[in-house]
Structures are given as structure tokens and as C-alpha cells.
Amino acid sequence: MELNREHFRAIIFHNFRRGLSRQECFDELNSLCSDKAPSYSTVKNWYNEFNRGRCSIQDESRAGRPKSVVVPEKINAVRELIKQDRHVTYREIEASLDISMTSINKILHEHLSVKKICSRWIPHNLTNAQKKARVDWCKEMLEKYIQGTSKAVYNIYTGDESWIYAYEPETKQQSTVWVFQDEAKPTKVVRGRSTSKQMIACFFGINGHVATVALEQRRTVNSEWYTTICLPEVIGEIRKKQKNRRIILHHDNASSHTSTQTKAFLTERKIELMGHPPRPVCPHLNVAQRDCVTHIFRRITMGNQKYPLNKKLF
């Protein structure tokens, strides 16, 4: 017969009642059962228990979490918490239901099949013709610049304007919500912000940042500012190192970029245009707006924070 823990405890209790010492009890168990015998510390602990008056060799019942809390009741409770608050966090679920992070993760991903995602911002609802025009333009650029391996890419400079706000109410990360497997992704409307703001134009090339121009004492960009202040400063920065450098400009089809005044300015300065798909403006194809300006914006605002707008910022 193979002895279990309760059998060994009965032997220890018997030796305790016989008056054997802890060491004598341990030696006897070791001689009888060899490596299967309990350790000396186990014998010592049970002697201490019996000295305190304990007579039972059964494990005492104790409060605590069950071996597994991933049960239908807990799964339904987590489901209800998510339905009540799509922004609920792991820690809030843990505090509400008193279950571990591991169990929460298992319930969320294995039983409820939910994932936390950001709201998807949709700038425009494009027609099939507009989608095709964008695809055709991308293919044309890939062919023209040999999949980006052409030396001409070193002459391409891209830029765009963007508002920098003194207060950003919510970041994309903060807007993440839990969604179930069969639910549609959430969207959010871009809200107008009435706090102070500053318009900037940011330009860069393949080797990095070229210039950032702030719009002084004006509310919107127009052809006059674009051709007399913005572009001259950008071109001046580009030609500081190479006076006669070829410049291929990529900007979107905003009205200030496509006006007669702007076209005349670019022709006079011998600036080539890379082109852009037809309107509406598509930020996904505007690298300056999608990457550079967005990166600057994230660096100077961390969400729900206010910061001063001044020249030093840019």
C-alpha cells in the first residue's frame, strides 16, 4: 500500500502520543519509508500543531479563491462589465470581481473573444472611381521612381499644414474600447476644439526634417502666405547646401496649393510638382500629414494636457 500525507500524519501523531522526540519520529519514518518519508520540518510542524492541542490530521478548510474562477458566473459578470463600460480596464475588472489578471485575460480572449481597439477615423467616403484614382496614382509613382530606388527620390520634398492645439481632449490610445467578436468597430466624429491653436507647415525630405513654418497672426492658410512666406523659407533651407538643387515638391490638392498664384510661383522658381490624386484630400497619401506632422503633434501633446503655444515650441 502506498502511504499518503494523512497516513504519515497519523504515524507522526502516534509517535507524538508515545512520547518520541521530533528527531526520533523523523528517524523512524526515514528508516521505514526512505526517500518517501516526510521532511524533518514537516515532522516538526505537526509536533507543534499537536502541542497546541490539535487532534485532527485533516487539512483545515480555508477561505480563498477556488482553483479556477473561470466559471460561467464570472464569464457573464465580465461580459456585463464590458457592456456597461467599453473602456473598462483589467484593474477595474479585478477590483470588481476579485479575480486574477490571468483569469481575466483567459475570460476576455478565450471565452468572450473580445479585443481592445481604437475608433477608426474616416475622413471621407470615397466612390469606386476615387479609390481607383488613388490606386492608379500610387502605381504611377512606383513605376516613375522605380519602386523607390530612383535617385530622383532624393529631390522629393513633401509638406503639409496642420493645427496644433493648446489642449487635446483624448488620444487615440485613450479612446480604445472592448468589442466582441461579432460587433462592428466603433467610430468617432472629429470634435471641434475652441481652445487656442497654431497653424504650422512642416516639410521634410528623404534625409529628414527641412523646415517648420508657423502661420503668424492669421487663422487659415492662403496662396499669399504660402508663396511669400512659407515656400520661400522652405526653398531657402533646401538650397543652403546646394544652390541649384533640383526640387520635386509633393503637397496635396488644397486650394492654396493649386491656385494660379502658387502655380506661377513654382514655375518661376523651377520647382517640379510630384502630383496628387483628385479631391477629396486624402491624408493617407500625404506622408507629411500622416507621419511627420503627426509625430510632432504626439511629441508635444500627450493627451488631456495643456501646453503653451509660442515660437520656442516649433
Give the distance, in angstroms, between the CA of residue 145 and the centroid of all CA atoms in the same chain: 33
pLDDT over 60 at 111, yes or no: yes
Q: Which residues lie below 8 Å from residue 9, measured CB to CB, with a gap of 6+?
A: 46, 57
pLDDT over 90 at 91, yes or no: no
Please report, for the chain, how many H helices and E strands are present, in that order.
13, 7
Alpha-carbon distance values, 272 to 136, 216, 223, 277 (Å)? 20, 27, 18, 16
Element (H, E) at 117: strand 115-117
**pLDDT of the residue at 283:** 55
Highest mean pLDDT among 53-62, 236-245, 260-269: 260-269
171: its cell numbers: 488620444
**123-148 as b/e, with b when 16 or more CB fall inside 10 Å?**
eeeeeeebeebbeebeeebeeebeee
**pLDDT of the residue at 161:** 87
| Structural contact between residues 257 and 226, judged by C-beta atoms closer than 8 angstroms | yes
pTM of the model: 0.50
Region 280-297: what's the mean pLDDT? 57
pLDDT over 80 at 258, yes or no: yes
**pLDDT of the residue at 302:** 47
Region 281-303: what's the mean pLDDT? 56
| β-bridge partners, 199 | 163
Tell me the CB-side half-sphere exposure of residue 107, using CA atoms within 13 A: 26
pLDDT over 70 at 303, yes or no: no
Cα(147)–Cα(236) distance, rounded to whole angstroms?
A: 29
How confident is residue 233, by pLDDT bands cut at 50, 70 and 90? very high
**pLDDT of the residue at 216:** 78
DSSP state of 285: G
Residue 20 identity: L
Instruction: Indicate the angle between helix axes 231-238 and 260-268, nearest 10 degrees.
Output: 20
120: its cell numbers: 477608426
Element (H, E) at 165: strand 156-165
For residue 170, the tally of other CB atoms under 10 A from its CB is 12
Alpha-carbon distance values, 23 to 4, 43, 53 (Å)? 21, 9, 20
Element (H, E) at 30: helix 22-33
Residue-wise pLDDT for 11-34, tens only, equals 899 989 899 999 999 988 888 887
How confident is residue 74, by pLDDT bands cut at 50, 70 and 90? very high
